[in-house]
């Protein structure tokens, strides 16, 4: 095996790195296509030899699949919005942010590593074969990817472990000002969860949130539809490139059950940040891999992703400052199409 020559401790958010060549990376992998249990996936080969900026040091991440909260991770970074295109995993459309071991990166201009005397750890045929789990059968394919293996690669990270926030600052994942504001507000949310002087604390929290962040607080009061009752659907046929406005939460709430779900899809508190804003539709999502089972799930009701819209980890207690930037899914009923300017002009013109 080839030893990594780039130290994680020397990297910071904003640094420029170069993805090593195919030969170097394949030589760094185990026979199952992993490095320290983290898979290197065929979708990542297209970036070999290119330079990118470190968007975050992935010293921690989150676990929405197993719902265990924050997770500690060693020796990994994210590169500027490089996401899995799913081409080697059955066309999965989850567009997960990729994890990169430092062994797969180098400083620009640094020399290539000498070939391993043992030869490559795996070849491209083997790498492709590693995208399916040994548990797969001809009748039921189970995929293996960074998302399905993330739980076993990470360890539990408690929200009250203050070392994680020191690492956030050390790696420049978060600015001191942003951290101070969000941690300060999180203490008020903790008091609200405990019901301490609820009305007074709530009023102070809403005032400080407006002063510090320039907008009102996310009001996650729960949906208006009884549990077990059907939730509404509104097919709009939205396509990539269309402009939409995310409806206010008050309107979205009317489409949710009391546990904030619409047809099984949860509306996350982090998504309230985008309410009232306009975005471009990125794609219609119809199939994603189940991160627990590895099976491909076909959505009964397709959902929408929006360009540049990712979880900002501002409110969730166990995910504060998580750099994973998961893509939220949107029901079409939560979105309002924006009419093209030409159409609006023709409707308002002389008749």
Would you give the end-to-end CA distance of the chain in angstroms? 75
* pLDDT value at residue 317: 79
Tokens of 7: 């130290």
* pTM summary value: 0.91
Question: Residue 117: its pLDDT value, please?
Answer: 61
pLDDT of amino acid 351 = 43
- Spell out the residues 6+ positions from residue 65 whose beta carbon is closer than 8 angstroms to its own: 147, 150, 151, 290, 291, 292
Q: Are 145 and 89 in contact (CB under 8 A)?
A: yes
Task: Tell me, letter by letter, the H, E, C secondary structure of 167-234.
Answer: HHHHCCCCCHHHHHHHHHHHHHHHHHHHCCCHHHHHHHHHHHHHHHHCCCCCCCCCCCECCCCCCCCC
**105-128 burial by CB neighbour count: b if 16+ within 10 A, else e?**
bbeeeeeebeeeeeebbbeeeebe
Lookup: tokens for 167: 């690492």
Domains, the chain, ranges and CATH?
Answer: 8-151 (no CATH), 222-341 (2.30.30)
Q: What pLDDT is attached to residue 5? A: 63
64-74 residue pLDDT tens? 899 999 999 99
pLDDT tens, residue order, the chain (351 aa): 444 468 888 999 999 999 999 999 999 999 999 999 999 999 999 999 999 999 999 999 999 899 999 999 999 999 998 999 999 999 999 999 999 999 999 999 999 887 766 656 899 999 999 999 988 888 899 999 999 999 999 999 998 899 999 999 999 999 999 999 999 999 999 898 888 898 999 999 999 999 999 988 887 678 899 988 999 999 999 999 999 999 999 999 999 999 899 998 999 889 999 999 999 999 999 999 999 999 999 999 999 999 999 999 999 878 899 999 999 999 999 999 998 755 544 444 444
Q: Crossing angle for the helix pair 198-213 and 176-194, nearest 10 degrees?
A: 160
CB 112 within 8 A of CB 50: no
Q: How many helices (H) and strands (E) does the chain have?
A: 8, 15
Which pLDDT score, from 0 to 100, does residue 281 have?
Answer: 98
Q: CA–CA separation, 303 vs 323, rounded Å?
A: 23
The phi and psi torsions of 22 (rounded to 5 degrees) equal: -55, -45
SS3 26: helix
């Amino acid at each position: 095996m080839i030893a990594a020559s780039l130290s994680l401790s020397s990297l910071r958010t904003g640094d420029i790195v170069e993805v090593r060549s195919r030969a170097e990376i394949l030589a760094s992998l185990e026979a199952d296509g992993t490095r320290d249990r983290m898979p290197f996936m065929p979708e990542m080969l297209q970036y070999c030899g290119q330079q990118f900026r470190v968007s975050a040091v992935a010293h921690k991440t989150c676990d929405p699949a197993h719902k265990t909260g924050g997770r500690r991770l060693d020796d990994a970074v994210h590169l500027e919005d490089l996401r899995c295109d799913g081409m080697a995993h059955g066309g999965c459309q989850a567009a997960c942010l990729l994890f990169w071991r430092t062994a797969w990166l180098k400083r620009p201009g640094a020399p290539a590593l000498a070939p391993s005397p043992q030869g490559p750890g795996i070849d491209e045929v083997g790498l492709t074969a590693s995208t399916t789990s040994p548990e797969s059968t001809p009748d039921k394919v189970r995929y293996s990817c960074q998302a399905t293996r993330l739980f076993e690669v990470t360890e539990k990270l408690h929200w009250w472990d203050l070392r994680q926030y020191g690492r956030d600052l050390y790696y420049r994942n978060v600015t001191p000002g942003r951290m101070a504001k969000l941690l300060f507000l999180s203490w008020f949310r903790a008091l609200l969860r405990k019901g301490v002087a609820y009305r007074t604390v709530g009023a102070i929290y809403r005032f400080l949130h407006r002063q510090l962040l320039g907008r009102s607080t996310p009001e996650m009061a729960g949906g208006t539809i009884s549990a077990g009752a059907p939730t509404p659907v509104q097919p709009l046929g939205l396509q990539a490139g269309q402009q939409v406005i995310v409806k206010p939460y008050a309107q979205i709430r009317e489409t949710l059950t009391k546990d904030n779900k619409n047809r099984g899809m949860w509306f996350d508190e982090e998504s309230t940040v985008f309410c009232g804003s306009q975005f471009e539709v990125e794609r219609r999502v119809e199939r994603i891999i189940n991160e627990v089972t590895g099976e491909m799930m076909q959505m009964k009701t397709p959902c929408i992703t929006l360009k540049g819209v990712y979880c900002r980890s501002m409110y969730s207690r166990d995910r504060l400052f998580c750099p994973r930037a998961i893509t939220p899914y949107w029901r079409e009923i939560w979105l309002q199409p924006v009419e093209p300017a030409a159409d609006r002009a023709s409707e308002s013109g002389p008749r």
